[in-house]
Structure 1
Amino acid sequence: MSFSQYLRYRWLRKLKSLQGKALKKRAPSIVEQTWSSEYVTNPHRLSQSLMINLTSFPKRYKHLHLTLKSLLMQNMRADQVNLWLYKDDIAQLPESVKELTQHGLKLHSLAHDTRSYKKLIPALSNYPDAYHVTADDDIYYRPNWLETLVNELQPKQQEILFWRAHRVTRYANGTPKPYRKWEPKTEHRGPSNDLFFTSGGGVIFPPSSLEPTVTDIDLAQQLAPYADDLWWYVMARLNNTSLRRVGDNPALINWPDSREGSLWQFNKQEAIGNDAQLTKLTDYFELKL
């Protein structure tokens, strides 16, 4: 990246951050006001089912209904919004979430708590032929979020699309730099194998876009117990699937006080974080990044 490109990148990130802060204050009222009005959602034209998947746990239940409402009110309607929960956590669900089962939400009870892997592995196992989209439980999703992912898909192209990614940066000899030195929230669109997508920002996985080993939960937890995004990324790379960023790369809008229990800070610690887990993955699968 040249110096002028760097300055533009920093300027864009600052601008989008400011826009995000302004929206963050209004997002809860936007969701509730829209929910109370007559909103319109349009069907998709995909050949298979379209599903949104997310997981949660009790410490994050306070704002969960807001996230779910923002997903249920997308301009483009998913066939199903799946909330995958550990069986012992379902009893603590607030009524504000339970009542959404009357509006398209489907609750799934899981026998084992596999942390963030609950988001996608059960969905891939139970609905292997669907288009799966990932979301997080603490984010406001703008109305065009799903529509953008679906409409950007290229016919007959094996690709995974996403709203948000970090770009792998490299030393002069081509080897990847440590995770903390990657380009965060990159403006690069790709397609590129160096685009490390983040599932919470929104990722669409078409059928067969990930290596079949992706559903091996025991192996996933052995190699990357705290970094499910690394697991999805490596499964995409092993499958030779094209990676491309879409949308205008807006700032993520998290609900206030919703980051409790986040793995972000944990994974920035090299010894037990993303670098160590990525090394385990690439060594095991003999994958050259």
Structure 2
Amino acid sequence: MSRVARSVRYRLRRCQVAVWALALRALSRYGRKRLVSPAGPVVSLTSHGSRLRRCHITIESIGRGDSRPSRLLLWIDDPEVLESLPPALIRLQRRGLEVRLTSNYGPHTKYYPFVSSTENLDTPLVTADDDVIYPPRWLTDLVEASQRMPASVIAYRARRIVVDLDGSLAPYDAWPFSAEPGPSFLNFGTGHSGVLYPAAMQRALRARGEGFVPVCPRADDVWLHNTALREGVRVSLVRRRSVAFDTLSGTQRGALKHSNVAAGANDEQIRRTYSDADLGRLEAAAQEEEAAAQEGPAS
């Protein structure tokens, strides 16, 4: 595809996303349907600053889905904001959104306040970003994939960890987006499109506490994958390859990807988080999967 064709396609897609956002904004203003339903998983996200004025669009996209969460939690770290929420969030509260105050754990805020404060962690936990428009089957497909692979972390999008010949990890920016459905220790789930965590993972995260603070305070994906690796929990994709859902315009200026990926901050946080034993597990997984691929499908 030519550069001009790509540019036209991108502009058309952004126009389509803008139309979807307008429709969701109207639904958020005039909708009356409950956002939650008893049988669903818990969905948790966080927002802050200027994003709080737009995150109702993301929340509405979750609540209008074919399946709804049993709880829909929005974590914020500013008491003054909690006392004067935007009108759109107040309307969503009437329909089942829970807005909770927490300490500031950076990107870890989307999951850690829940696992550290909830007595019963038997219900699957799904994390979401506050700047994404999630499609109607988003939660349905996550849950169905989890039912097929109940021991796995389930992700829509993952990087494929690259282990070099000497057993070290290639730079994060060299890890391609995965097209290996898994389950696999080499699938490194990324939170953008949504990730489901089974009960065992939630309990492990609670047990590790705030250990992420000194090693990867700005890289929740690193801590989450490292915890899964140590617990023997593999990551599976919802689909046969990774997928990234559309983001709202104007929300990416301060996104973590600019520092964590482009500036290499993920590599430093990975070095601090993964022990020699962790690297050994990843090297063994890479060798095992390479051997299985060379053998081909069983006859």
**TMscore range, shorter length:** 0.7 to 0.9
Does structure 1 residue 55 correspond to structure 2 residue 69?
no
User: Which range moved further: 139-148 or 32-41?
Assistant: 32-41
Does structure 1 residue 147 correspond to structure 2 residue 152?
no
Instruction: Give 1:238-249 correspondences, 5 Å limit.
Output: 238-247=230-239, 249=242
The match for 2:18 is 25
Instruction: Decide which of 158, 171, 180 is 2:151's aligned counterpart.
Output: 158
Note the alpha carbon deviations across 1:88-122, whole angstroms, 9 max, x for none.
34235311112101111001111x21111111011
- 1:230 partner amino acid: V
Instruction: Decide which of 116, 128, 132 is 2:107's aligned counterpart.
Output: 116
Q: Structure 1 pair 209/82, CA: closer, same or farther in 2 (3 Å)?
A: same
The match for 1:5 is none
The match for 2:204 is 212
The match for 1:279 is 271
**Cα offset, 1:195, TM superposition:** 0.9
Note the alpha carbon deviations across 1:59-79, whole angstroms, 9 max, x for none.
211211101111111110111
**Cα offset, 1:169, TM superposition:** 2.1
The match for 2:92 is 100
The match for 1:191 is 183
CA RMSD of aligned residues (A): 3.1
* TM-score, normalised relative to structure 1: 0.82
Separation (CA, whole Å) in 2 of partners of 1:220 and 1:101? 31
Equivalent residue of 2:42, what SS?
A: strand
Q: Structure 1 pair 261/284, CA: closer, same or farther in 2 (3 Å)?
A: farther
Equivalent residue of 2:146, what SS?
A: coil
The match for 1:180 is 173
Over the matched positions of the two proteins, sequence identity in percent amounts to 24
The match for 1:223 is 215
Instruction: Decide which of 57, 68, 73 is 1:77's aligned counterpart.
Output: 68
- 1:181 partner amino acid: A
Equivalent residue of 1:81, what SS?
A: strand
Equivalent residue of 1:154, what SS?
A: helix
Contiguous gaps of at least 5 residues in structure 1: 1-12
Note the alpha carbon deviations across 1:152-184, whole angstroms, 9 max, x for none.
123674111111111112334454211011103
- Counterpart contact for 1:52–1:80, Cα < 8 Å: yes
Separation (CA, whole Å) in 2 of partners of 1:62 and 1:153? 32
Larger helix proportion, structure 1 or 2?
2
Instruction: Decide which of 120, 125, 128 is 2:116's aligned counterpart.
Output: 125
Q: Structure 1 pair 227/37, CA: closer, same or farther in 2 (3 Å)?
A: closer
Equivalent residue of 2:130, what SS?
A: coil
**Cα offset, 1:253, TM superposition:** 0.9
**Cα offset, 1:17, TM superposition:** 6.7
Q: Structure 1 pair 69/213, CA: closer, same or farther in 2 (3 Å)?
A: closer
Aligned length: 272
Q: Structure 1 pair 154/130, CA: closer, same or farther in 2 (3 Å)?
A: closer
User: Which range moved further: 169-178 or 227-236?
Assistant: 169-178
Separation (CA, whole Å) in 2 of partners of 1:85 and 1:284? 36
- Counterpart contact for 1:223–1:280, Cα < 8 Å: yes
Equivalent residue of 2:122, what SS?
A: coil
Instruction: Decide which of 43, 48, 59 is 1:68's aligned counterpart.
Output: 59
Separation (CA, whole Å) in 2 of partners of 1:17 and 1:211? 41
Contiguous gaps of at least 5 residues in structure 2: 1-5, 283-299
Question: Which stretches of structure 1, 4 residues or longer, exceed 6 Å deviation after superposition?
Answer: 16-19, 37-42
**Cα offset, 1:189, TM superposition:** 1.3
User: Which range moved further: 167-176 or 67-76?
Assistant: 167-176
* TM-score, normalised relative to structure 2: 0.80
- 1:197 partner amino acid: G
Equivalent residue of 2:173, what SS?
A: helix
- 1:260 partner amino acid: R
- Counterpart contact for 2:161–2:186, Cα < 8 Å: yes
